[in-house]
Amino acid sequence: MKKFLILGVIAIVLLSGSFVAYAAMETKVTVNFSDGRTTVVSEGLHNTLEEALSGAGQNVQQLKANYQPSIPWNKSLDGDITVDLKCKCKVNLELGGKNLGTFITTQTTVGSFLEERKIQLSAWDEPNVSMNEAITQNMRIVVDKVEQRVKKETKTIKFTTKEVKDDKLEKGKKEVTTKGRPGKEEYQIVALYKNGKLLIKDGKPVLTKTLINKVAPVMEVVKLGTKEPEKQDEGSTPASGILSGQAMTFESTAYTSYGSKTATGTAPHKGTVAVDPDVIPLGTKLYIEGYGYGVAEDTGGRIKGHIIDLYFSSEADCVKWGRRNVKVHILK
C-alpha cells in the first residue's frame, strides 16, 4: 500500500464548493544510466524525478546537461517507477583513416550510433570496439575500412619452333608449314586494402592470385631442306663451248607437283621442264638463263608453241618466279 503524508498545513479553500488538498506520495524511483553508471535508487516522498534524484544526493543540474530522461524531469510521480537516463555523449569518430569529427548522440550502443550516422560496415571492416558496447562520454570510435580490390593480369606465353628435315626441299631452304602463335595466361588478383592502402603482412602484400583462363601456344613447324643441289652450276652462265646449239626466247611459267609423274614417267624435280613436243622434243637437254640446267621431261595442256613450264619444289618459289620471258639454249 502507498503511504500518503499531508504536507504542513492542509489548505482548505472553498472555491465553488470544492475541496483541494496537496499531498506527496512515498515512492521508489530506480534510475538506470545508458553509459553504465551505477544505478540510483531513491525511496521517499517525491513529487517529480528531479526531486527523487536530488533526494538521492545527485547533482540534478549536471544530470540535466548530460542526460535525456525517459520521462520529463518535472513530471508528477504516481507510484514506483524505473527511469532511463540516456547519455548525451560526445563521440569522436574516425572512419577509413579520416577523422569525421565529434558528435553528440543519445544512442545507447556503438552499433546504433553508427546506424544513426548512416555508416554501414562490411564483414572486412575493423572497428576498435564491439557493436554492442555502450556509448560513453568522450568515447573514441575508430573504424578501419578494409576492402577487396580485384584486377586481371595477362601473361604472354612464347611459342616454340620445331624444325623438321625434308629431303625434297633444297638444302639451306626453309618453309613454315605451321605458323606459331603465342599463348596466354589470365589471372585474377584479389588484394586487400586498409584505409585505401595496400595491406602488408609480414612484409608482403595480402593478395591471392588465381589462374582463370589459359590458351596454349601453337608450335611453329618449319621444314628444313636437306636435298643436295644438282652438280651442275645451276643459274650461272655455262662454261665456254657448251652452248653450241640453238638459243631461242620462250615465255616461261612455273609449277610444282606432289606425287605425280611427268609425261616421260619420271618424278618431277628441279630441272624438269614442261614443253610443247612439237617445238622442243622430249628428252632434250636445255639451259634456261636465270633457272639453270633442265631436261624436257613433261608436257601440259596449256604448254603450246614457245611456252615452257619450269618445275619448282614449292609454291612460294613458283610465285616468286611468276611469268617471264627467258632465253633457252638447246644443248647437244
- CA–CA distance, 25 with 52 (Å, rounded to integer): 11
pLDDT score for 238? 47
Write out the residue limits of the CATH 3.10.20 domain(s) in the chain.
Answer: 4-86, 89-144
Instruction: Give, in words, the CATH class of 4-86.
Output: alpha beta
* Predicted local distance difference test score (pLDDT) of residue 10: 36
**Location of each CATH 2.40.40.10 domain in the chain:** 233-330
What is the per-residue pLDDT for 21?
A: 39
Give the residue carrying C-alpha cell 638447246: 330
- pLDDT tens for 217-262 read 999 999 998 888 665 444 444 444 344 468 899 999 999 987 788 9
Task: Return the pLDDT at 152.
Answer: 94
Q: Domain 149-224, what fold?
A: Resuscitation-promoting factor rpfb fold (2.20.230)
Q: Give, in order, the Cα–Cα distances in Å from 84 to each of 35, 51, 215.
A: 11, 16, 68
Tens of pLDDT along 94-139?
Answer: 999 999 999 999 999 999 999 999 999 988 899 999 999 999 999 9
Overall fold of domain 233-330: Barwin-like endoglucanases (2.40.40)
pLDDT of 13: 36
Alpha-carbon 166 to chain mean position: 46
pLDDT at 9: 32
Q: Which CATH architecture has domain 89-144?
A: Roll (3.10)
Residues of the chain with pLDDT under 50: 1-23, 232-244
Dihedral (Cα; 323, 324, 327, 332), 10-degree rounding: -10
Query: Rounded to two decimals, what is the model's pTM?
Result: 0.48
Distances, alpha carbon 319 to alpha carbons 136, 227, 276, 315, 324, in Å:
91, 21, 22, 6, 12
pLDDT (0 to 100) of residue 330: 92
H-run or E-run covering 246 = none
Whether the Cβ atoms of residue 309 and residue 303 lie closer than 8 Å to each other: yes
Residues, the chain: 332
pLDDT at 14: 34
Q: How far apart are the first and last CA of the chain?
A: 151
